[in-house]
C-alpha cells in the first residue's frame, strides 16, 4: 500500500481525482496550439516519435515529473507504520483484478451476499452482485434506517497496462458500475443481517429469499425480499407496502440488544439462531406452511454477551457460539438442558467472530478483541465435564498481525486453506494457511518483521466491519463499513 502526501492546492487535487494530469497549462496558449513540426515529418512513424503533444518525450516527461505529486512507493503496514499529517493511502491497482467502491446513505456495519441464478464459477466481466445490508443511522434519526436490497452491475475488470485492446473481450470493457437499490424501512439500527434462500417450489417461481436482521431494539425482523430482487430484472414490477413489512418478528429477546445471528445451511425451509447481550440464545424454525415458531426456552451458558453464532456445516443439530467472556462453546440443539456440550476459553478478551470451515468440518476460526485470530481443531476439544484437567487445547494456527479488534473472519467457500479477516485497523486481510514454515525459513516476509508468510494480501478500507466471499464468483469479496461498500477481487486469490 503506497503512501502519498496530499497537496495543499485544492484545485490541483481535484484535477488529479478527475484523472487530469497534475500540470500547469496556459489555456490561451493551449487554445492557439499549432504543430510547429507539421511540415518537417513525412511519415506517421516519425510523428509518433516526437511524442503525443508535439514535443520530444524527454522534455514532456521531465515537465510531468516536475509537476507531479510526490508519491512514496513504499509499503504501508497497518499497526507498524503511521501516516504523517496530510498523507493518504493509495492502493497498488496492479494487484487487483476488480476494484469498486460504492456509497451508502448511512454506514452499514453488516451485509450479506444473495445467491443468484447467473451461474457458478463465474470468471467473465462485467460482474453482477446481489446483496443486502442494514444501516446504522445517526442517533435521533432512527426512522431513517433501512434494509438495503441491492443489485451491483457493470462491475468491470481492472485495465492492465500492455494489454492489446483489440484482443480484449468486448464484455470486459470498462464502464461505470451501477448500483440499484430497494429499501425496506426500519425503525432501529441493524447490528447483523443474514440471508437464507429456500429452494424453488416450482421451476416457474424464483427461490424464496429471506433476510433476518438483529436490531438494536432487541427485535429480530424477518423479511421476504423475493419481490424486491424480482423488480431488478422484471421491468414494470413494483413493491407494495405490505411486501415491505416483516413476515415474522422474533420478540423472545425482549429489550435485550443482540449481535449474533445465523441461518442453518442444512435446513432448507429455514432455521435461525439468535443471541443477545444477556447471554440467551433462541432457536426459530420456519414451518412447511411458511410461518415461524420460536422455542422460548433459551440456550444459556455465556457469562455476558453472545457475540457470534455459527451452525455446523456438516451436523444438522450442532452449533457454536462465542462470547465476551472469552469462550467458544459447542452445543447440541436437541439438548433438553439447553447447556453447552463443550466450552473452551480461547481468549482473555472478547471473542467477536467465528467461521466454520465448509471444506474441513472440524476446523473453526475465531477472532478476538485483542487482534488475534486463530484456527482450532475441534477433534481436540473434549466435553465440558472432562475439562477439569489442565489439558487445555491449543490452536493449530494463530496470528496477531492485526493490532486492533477482529470484526470478521470467513473461510473461503471452496478453498480449504484461504481465510479473510477484517480488523479495526481499517484493513481486510487474506490468508493462505497452506503456506508452512520450514526450520530454515524466517517468520518474516520479504525481510519485514512480524509479517507472516501466510499473509497473502492486505486491502485498506476505512472502518471496515464485515466482508463475505461471493459463493459464485471465485475470489470476489464484498465488504462494508463506515465508508460504504467495496467489491473487489485480488490477483492473489
Whether residue 296 is contained in a domain is answered as yes
Can you give the residue range of the structural domain that contains 459?
A: 100-158+176-490
**Residue 119 to residue 474: CA distance in whole angstroms:** 12
C-alpha cell at 309: 453464532
pLDDT of residue 90: 76
Higher pLDDT pick, 243 / 438: 243
Share of the chain above pLDDT 90, in %: 65
Element (H, E) at 232: helix 226-233
Higher pLDDT pick, 423 / 91: 423
CATH number of the domain at 367, please: 2.130.10.10
pLDDT of residue 6: 41
pLDDT of residue 163: 59
Question: Chain-wide mean pLDDT for the chain?
Answer: 84
Higher pLDDT pick, 330 / 79: 330
What are the pLDDT digits (tens) for 262-275? Answer: 999 999 999 999 99
Q: What is the mean pLDDT of residues 15-40?
A: 41
What are the pLDDT digits (tens) for 419-473? Answer: 999 999 999 999 999 987 654 455 555 555 668 899 999 999 999 999 999 999 9
C-alpha cell at 434: 497452506
Whether residue 183 is contained in a domain is answered as yes
Which range, of 43-47, 48-52, 257-261, 329-333, averages the lowest pLDDT? 43-47
Higher pLDDT pick, 28 / 417: 417
CA angle centred on 444, ends 440 and 450, rounded to 5°: 140
pLDDT of residue 45: 39
Cα separation of the two ends of the chain? 18
pLDDT of residue 164: 53
Whether residue 93 is contained in a domain is answered as no
Whether residue 326 is contained in a domain is answered as yes
Domain count, the chain: 1
- Radius of gyration (C-alpha) of the chain in whole angstroms: 26
Whether residue 189 is contained in a domain is answered as yes
What are the pLDDT digits (tens) for 115-173? Answer: 999 999 999 999 999 999 999 999 899 999 999 999 999 999 988 766 555 444 445 55
**Residue 263 to residue 283: CA distance in whole angstroms:** 10
Which range, of 112-126, 226-240, 340-354, 448-462, averages the lowest pLDDT? 448-462
Whether residue 468 is contained in a domain is answered as yes
Share of the chain above pLDDT 70, in %: 76
What are the pLDDT digits (tens) for 364-400? Answer: 999 999 999 999 999 999 886 544 444 678 999 999 9
**Residue 253 to residue 156: CA distance in whole angstroms:** 43
**Residue 211 to residue 223: CA distance in whole angstroms:** 5
What are the pLDDT digits (tens) for 281-314? Answer: 999 999 988 999 999 999 999 999 999 999 999 9
C-alpha cell at 234: 422484471
- Give yes or no for a contact between 345 and 299, defined as CB atoms under 8 angstroms apart: no
**Residue 138 to residue 147: CA distance in whole angstroms:** 15
Whether residue 10 is contained in a domain is answered as no
* pLDDT higher than 80, residue 66: no
What per-residue string of b and e applies to 138-172 under the rule 16 or more CB within 10 Å gives b? eeeebeebbbbbbbbeebbbbeeeeeeeeeeeeee
**Residue 336 to residue 106: CA distance in whole angstroms:** 42
Which of 471, 394, 400 lies closest to 429 in space, CA to CA?
400
* pLDDT higher than 50, residue 317: yes
pLDDT of residue 189: 96
pLDDT of residue 70: 54
- The residue to which cell 460504504 is assigned: 484
Burial class (CB in 10 A: 0-12, 13-18, 19+), 69: middle
Whether residue 384 is contained in a domain is answered as yes
Higher pLDDT pick, 281 / 201: 281
pLDDT of residue 112: 98
Amino acid at each position: 500500500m503506497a503512501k502519498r502526501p496530499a497537496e495543499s492546492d485544492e484545485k490541483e487535487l481535484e484535477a488529479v481525482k478527475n484523472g487530469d494530469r497534475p500540470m500547469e497549462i496556459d489555456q490561451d496558449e493551449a487554445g492557439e496550439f499549432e504543430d510547429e513540426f507539421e511540415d518537417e515529418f513525412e511519415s506517421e512513424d516519425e510523428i509518433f516519435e516526437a511524442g503525443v503533444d508535439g514535443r520530444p518525450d524527454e522534455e514532456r516527461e521531465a515537465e510531468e515529473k516536475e509537476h507531479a505529486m510526490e508519491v512514496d512507493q513504499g509499503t504501508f503496514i497497518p499497526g507498524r507504520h503511521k501516516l504523517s499529517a496530510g498523507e493518504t493511502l493509495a492502493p497498488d491497482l496492479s494487484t487487483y483484478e476488480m476494484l469498486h467502491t460504492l456509497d451508502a446513505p448511512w454506514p452499514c456495519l453488516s451485509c450479506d451476499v444473495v445467491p443468484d441464478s447467473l451461474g457458478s464459477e463465474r470468471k467473465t466481466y462485467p460482474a453482477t452482485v446481489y446483496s443486502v445490508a442494514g444501516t446504522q443511522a445517526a442517533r435521533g434519526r432512527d426512522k431513517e434506517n433501512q434494509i438495503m436490497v441491492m443489485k451491483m452491475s457493470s462491475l468491470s475488470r481492472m485495465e492492465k497496462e500492455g494489454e492489446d485492446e483489440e484482443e480484449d473481450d468486448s464484455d470486459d470493457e470498462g464502464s461505470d458500475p451501477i448500483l440499484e437499490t430497494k429499501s425496506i424501512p426500519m425503525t432501529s439500527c441493524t447490528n447483523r443481517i443474514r440471508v437464507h434462500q429456500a429452494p424453488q417450489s416450482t421451476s416457474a417461481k424464483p427461490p424464496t429469499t429471506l433476510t433476518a436482521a438483529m436490531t438494536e431494539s432487541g427485535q429480530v425482523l424477518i423479511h421476504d425480499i423475493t419481490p424486491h430482487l424480482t423488480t431488478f430484472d422484471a421491468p414494470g414490477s413494483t413493491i407494495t407496502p405490505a411486501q415491505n413489512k416483516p413476515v415474522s418478528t422474533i420478540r423472545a429477546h425482549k429489550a435485550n440488544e443482540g449481535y449474533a445471528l445465523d441461518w442453518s445451511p442444512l435446513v432448507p425451509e429455514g432455521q435461525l439462531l439468535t443471541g443477545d447481550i444477556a447471554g440467551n440464545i433462541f432457536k426459530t424454525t420456519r414451518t412447511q406452511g411458511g410461518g415461524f415458531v420460536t422455542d422460548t426456552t433459551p440456550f444459556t451458558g455465556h457469562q455476558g454477551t453472545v457475540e457470534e453464532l455459527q451452525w455446523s456445516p456438516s451436523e444438522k443439530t450442532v452449533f457454536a457460539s462465542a462470547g465476551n467472556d472469552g469462550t467458544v462453546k459447542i452445543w447440541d440443539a436437541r439438548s433438553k438442558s439447553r447447556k453447552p456440550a463443550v466450552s473452551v476459553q480461547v481468549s482473555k478478551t472478547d471473542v467477536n467472530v467465528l467461521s466454520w470451515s465448509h471444506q474441513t468440518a472440524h476446523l473453526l476460526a475465531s477472532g478476538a478483541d485483542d487482534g488475534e485470530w486463530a484456527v482450532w481443531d475441534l477433534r481436540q476439544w473434549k466435553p465440558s465435564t472432562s475439562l477439569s484437567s489442565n489439558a487445555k487445547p491449543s490452536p493449530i494456527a494463530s496470528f496477531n498481525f492485526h493490532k486492533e479488534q477482529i470484526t470478521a473472519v470467513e473461510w473461503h467457500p471452496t478453498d480449504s486453506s484461504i481465510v479473510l479477516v477484517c480488523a479495526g485497523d481499517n484493513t481486510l486481510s487474506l490468508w493462505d494457511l497452506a503456506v508452512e514454515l520450514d526450520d530454515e525459513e524466517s517468520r518474516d516476509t520479504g525481510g519485514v518483521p512480524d509479517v507472516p508468510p501466510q499473509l497473502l494480501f492486505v486491502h485498506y478500507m476505512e472502518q471496515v466491519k464485515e466482508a463475505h466471499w461471493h459463493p459464485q464468483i471465485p475470489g470476489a469479496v464484498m465488504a462494508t463499513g463506515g465508508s460504504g461498500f467495496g467489491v473487489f477481487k485480488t490477483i492473489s486469490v
